[in-house]
Amino acid sequence: MSTDWDLLIESHFDRKSNNKLTLETLMESINEVMSTLPIKDDYLLTEDEPSGKRFSMSIPIPRLMPSEAWGDPSSQSRQEVDRVFASITRKGGNMKSRIQHVATFLDPAQAMKKAPGGKVNTVLNMMQIIEALQAALNDFNESSAGFVFEGFMAALTGGRQEAGRVGGTLPIEDFITADNENVSLKLLSPATQIHGSFTNLIDYLFLRGKTGVPSIKYLVAYKDSEEDAVAKLQFWEFYISRDNLVELFEETGNGGLFGSVATQFRSHASAMEDSNEWRLRMKEILSNTGYNPRLGMFFKNLTPEGEFFVADDAGPDPEKKAKDFRAKEKLGRKVGLVDQAEEAGAESYQSGKPIETWLKDINWSKHPDLPKGLKSKARKVLMKQIKIAWDKGFNKAKKEDDSVVAESYFGAFHKDEKRSLLQESAQGAGGKQFHISGNTLLAIKSIAGTTVYGILDMSQNNIDELVKIYVEKLGEDLMSLLENTKNFSENIGRYFSADDRSEAATANRTAREQGEEIVNSLEERAKEEV
């Protein structure tokens, strides 16, 4: 530090210059030197520089970038994070125990009990996992967040995400644990009901792969938000099975889905067998319920004799495919022009350029497939769309967009199931959905085995408190090592990316020095652990 200080004083206060050492300039110089030092716990958190909501903003740990690929055990991303998740998976295959294990690292009382310097790798891995969970919940738009969260949970449980049809039916499960347990994941606000397709559930229980699957676990993660970020997650689980289906639906207000044949359904379901006769009778019973005959496999995938089959998807006609693509190209150019109109409308709010002038400036020769006749119906329709887009852009520029995208009515869950629910909504009485209120989860405990896993507290205050605890537990030496490692990585990046090669050379030298420090530090730690 003394060398750095001397050089700084010499450069800033040359005797030949007019610079004078004042209290203000002295403090500026001290701040410059301090900014080059490793992070330490005594000035880690300041009032002027809030810590942020992630561990890596205060403790320089490597970041994990979650994605849907985490749900695929064969993907490179998943293989890279499995090492980190090993600190969880070693706890066994029980999903509840793994989530609760994460919760212990988010509990300041539990964190205080951890031995200083003990199981450092576990602590750092857990920080990475918690931060990755925050990223999965907060760094993606609503439609993507649900799928990324599914991938995260698949990795957490050592399992895999489910996609595509399974046994001829839509997958109602979002991921499968390492113990081959099918899980339907729901990420919801506290007041949002649990929704699902009655048709898909029946197909899953009684017809998937011909003989169905006995049960499905529902994992419900209720979220509490703080400044547009998920601060807490409370996990619940319950089961829906062949045995409890009718009773569960009656208890939760969904008994009407069985119409007047609930008794017949219960009796026939309890006598389930792999026979054409049994499937045909179930089809007959389902025709008097909320089951959708247009989408349901009991109607689409049974022969007149009752034999189950999975239809092969016919390959696309190459000529038709090419024709359809050309049509989409043409449509895309029209849409592109409308998008340009919206952008131009926004610009016109500042420039004052009218739409008539913008239209005259367009090189229409670049749009040969647009409607030619100025008075044609197609041309008028296009011009109307352009005008609407222009006004939209203008109004957006005029008024700051403070709108917040409302949470999906259905919550964030599997896209295929969501699509199916939307289809059924559009078809009215042809298909029904079941709705389970969070207030009924206790009431169905004896029926569905309701269990609460606990709460993951990722609130700002809790993270700040944990940072202070873990900095102390990790120790100054390790904090310095982490900071050096972070800077080492950044300098390598500067070496390869800097346009100024003198800057690159400096980064190279610094990286080599930091690399030596890292190696020496790791060697010393290895000696201590022997």
Q: H or E element: which one contains 344?
A: helix 318-351
Residue 31 sits in the same domain as residue 46: no
- Alpha carbon distance 341, 4 (integer Å): 57
Q: Does 307 map to a domain?
A: no
pLDDT by residue for the chain (530 residues), tens only, comes to 333 434 444 444 444 445 554 444 444 544 444 444 333 333 333 333 334 568 777 777 777 888 888 988 888 888 888 888 887 766 566 888 889 989 988 999 988 887 665 567 778 888 888 888 988 898 888 778 888 899 999 999 988 987 666 666 668 899 999 888 999 999 998 889 999 999 999 999 999 888 999 999 999 999 998 888 899 999 999 999 999 999 999 999 999 999 999 999 999 999 999 999 999 999 999 999 999 998 899 999 999 999 998 866 545 566 767 777 777 777 787 788 888 888 888 888 888 888 888 888 877 776 666 666 556 777 788 888 888 988 888 888 877 444 333 333 334 344 555 555 555 554 444 458 899 998 898 899 999 999 999 899 999 899 888 888 888 777 655 666 666 666 676 667 776 776 777 776 786 777 677 666 656 665 665 555 54
Find out whether 494 and 504 touch, Cβ atoms under 8 Å.
Answer: yes
Using alpha carbons, select from 60, 39, 55, 68 the residue that is nearest to residue 102.
55
Instruction: Say if 268 falls within a structural domain.
Output: yes
425 in a structural domain: yes
**Which tokens in the block code for residue 89?**
């998976």
Residues 271, 176 share a domain: yes
The pLDDT of residue 115 is 63
Q: Are 474 and 480 in contact (CB under 8 A)?
A: no
Q: Are 380 and 434 found together in one domain? A: no
* Domain contains 313: no
User: What is the Cα–Cα distance from 210 to 98, expressed in whole angstroms?
Assistant: 33
Residue 290 sits at φ, ψ, to 5 deg, of -80, 10
Same domain, 450 and 464: no
Number of structural domains in the chain: 5
What is the C-alpha separation between 337 and 340, in angstroms, rounded?
A: 5
Q: Are residues 447 and 465 in the same domain?
A: no
pLDDT at 194: 93
CB-based contact 148:67 (threshold 8 Å):
yes
- Say if residue 255 is in the same domain as residue 275: yes
Residue numbers of the domain that contains 88: 41-98+105-140+459-473
Same domain, 278 and 422: yes
The verdict on pTM exceeding 0.75 is no
Three-class SS of residue 95? helix
Q: 138 to each of 144, 162, 230, 489, how far by Cα in Å?
A: 10, 23, 7, 26
Question: 82 and 21, same structural domain?
Answer: no
Question: What local confidence, expressed as pLDDT, does residue 126 receive?
Answer: 86
Cα torsion 338, 343, 348, 349: sign: positive
Whether 287 and 326 share a structural domain:
no
